[in-house]
Amino acid sequence: MVQLTQKAKLVDRRQMSWLERIYLWNILKGMMITLSHLFKRKATINFPEQKRYFAPVFRGLHVLNRDEEGRERCTACGLCAVACPAEAITMEAAERLPGEEKLYREEKYAARYEINMLRCIFCGLCEDACPKDAIYLSQTFAPSNYSRKGFIYKKEDLLIPNPLTDPEDYKKALGDRPAKKINN
């Protein structure tokens, strides 16, 4: 018979020998296997204190970016929502009023920006689509929540800390991500 895979093993259907029939020897062998695991490296890590290494290309939770002066980059163009294959992004645009120049980078901004983390498939197409480097996927993942509503992330959940008022948190959130080239 031609074997389909190399992993296939023939089942041994020989009669059990006396030693095998009394089981004690086989049980002893099994116990030695479990005993050897006592000294093996643990597969678990102490999670909250220790974290696994994520590759730089890891696609985790979304972050709404700001520029160096702390202004929101998003212009609510809607390209990310169009690109999103899971239709997880909802936004509402608003016009920047005089006096809000320090808050928003351009004349139009997102008044409401929501991502449904239960719909999101973390493909990163929104990051690719964004012409303003306003959204990117960070290296953390969405924490658990008690209700479905809790998984709809609002703008304040997504925004990166302000680099002017909160420079340390901003740096931490930014990590070692290189800035994307944008045409203004």
Partner 1 sequence: MHLLSIDWWFILEKLVLIVIVISLSLVIAMYTTYAERKVAAWLQDRRGPNRAGPWGILQPLADGGKLFFKEEIIPLVSSKWLFILGPSLAMLTALLTSAVIPWGTSLHLFGKDVPLQIADVNIGILYIFGVVSLGVYGIMIGGWASNNKFSLLAAIRGASQMISYELAMGMALIAVLMLTGSLQMSVIVQNQVEHGWHIIYQPLGFIIFFICALAECNRTPFDLPEAENELNFGYHQEYSSMKLGFYLFAEYINMFISSAVMATLFLGGYDIPFVNETQWGLPQNLLAIIGFAVLMAKIFFFLFVFIWIRWTIPRFRYDQLMNLGWKGLIPLSLANMVITAIVMLWKSKT
Q: Is 41 in the site for partner 1 (CB under 8 A)?
A: yes
Q: At its nearest, how many Å lie between partner 1 and the CB of residue 31?
A: 5
Q: Is 27 in the site for partner 1 (CB under 8 A)?
A: yes
CA distance 32 to 45: 25
Task: Answer whether 173's CB lies under 8 Å from 139's CB.
Answer: no
Q: Is 52 in the site for partner 1 (CB under 8 A)?
A: no
- Scanning 41-49, 54-62, 128-136, 169-177 for contacts with partner 1 by CB under 8 A, the matching segment is 41-49
Which one, of 84, 99, 168, 97, lies nearest residue 129 by Cα? 84
Residues 90-129 that bind partner 1 (CB under 8 A): none
- C-alpha dist (Å) from residue 56 to 138, 140, 159, 175, 178: 9, 11, 20, 10, 10
Place of tokens 């643990």: 42
- Scanning 9-17, 40-48, 144-152, 172-180 for contacts with partner 1 by CB under 8 A, the matching segment is 40-48
Paired tokens of 102: 């320090």
Q: At its nearest, how many Å lie between partner 1 and the CB of residue 45?
A: 8
Which one, of 65, 81, 83, lies nearest residue 73 by Cα? 65
- Scanning 22-30, 81-89, 117-125, 140-148 for contacts with partner 1 by CB under 8 A, the matching segment is 22-30
Q: Is 16 in the site for partner 1 (CB under 8 A)?
A: no
Q: Which residues bind partner 1 (CB under 8 A)?
A: 24, 27, 30-31, 33-35, 37-38, 40-44, 46
